[in-house]
Amino acid sequence: MARPFQGQQHLSAAHELRDNARTAGQLRQALAVLLPLEQGLSLQQTAQILGRSREATCRLRSRFIAAQRVQSAQPERPSAAQLRWSRQGAVLDEVLADAAQGAVVVVPQLLPLVQAKLGRTICLATLYNMLHRQGWRKLAPDTAHPKGDAQAREEWKKNCAVIWRKSL
């Protein structure tokens, strides 16, 4: 025997969406919830009426019910990943205190500091992912390699052909 359909508590929201639907997608979503619950149709029959596959109809129902749960006032517990990310954000805030005031940040030089704060080793890609998750972005490209020789670069500029120089 198949599982009974979920979403009885969202029937009023589905009726409201059906009555106020502005697009065919909204109407299909409301009907994907209403037909099985009110008319007793199977998911396959509902899919046939809506002109969608059984899987697409199931996704419509699931997305509607998930959206209704988000709109309800029940606060959800943060996931383990969200807790880890908030801890990572706290570590990055400590390490990047100078960067918040406009100091230049070189990510490979941050790696040992972050590893010391976390108490374990991480790879450079993980640090880049952490920075990305916390909203840090590369604002300006590097003008020169950090291990480059500035004096040799200036000498080369002076000795290069005149054609290569930018015209003023």
Full pLDDT tens readout for the chain, 168 residues: 567 777 788 888 899 999 998 999 999 999 999 999 898 898 899 999 999 999 999 999 999 988 888 777 556 667 777 778 888 888 888 888 877 777 778 888 889 998 888 888 889 998 898 888 888 876 666 677 878 888 887 777 766 555 555 555
Can you give the pLDDT at residue 166?
56
Can you give the pLDDT at residue 47?
93
CA 66/CA 29 separation, integer angstroms: 12
CB count within 10 Å of CB 45 equals 15
How many domains are contained in the chain? 2
**Is residue 48 assigned to a domain?**
yes
CA 91/CA 93 separation, integer angstroms: 5
Torsion of CA 11, 15, 17, 23, to 10 degrees: 120
Residues 106 and 130 grouped into a single domain? yes
Instruction: Give the closest residue to 134 by CA, choosing from 84, 75, 77.
Output: 84
Answer positive or negative: Cα dihedral of 22, 25, 29, 34. Answer: positive
Residues 87 and 63 grouped into a single domain? no
**Is residue 100 assigned to a domain?**
yes
Residues 85 and 113 grouped into a single domain? yes
Q: In this structure, what CATH number is given to the domain that contains residue 46?
A: 1.10.10
**Is residue 32 assigned to a domain?**
yes
> Tokens standing for 133?
């998750």
- With beta carbons less than 8 A apart as the criterion, state whether 126 and 166 touch: no
Domain assignment of residue 51, given as a range: 8-71
CA 8/CA 38 separation, integer angstroms: 9
Residue that terminates a domain, selected from 18, 43, 71: 71
CB count within 10 Å of CB 60 equals 21
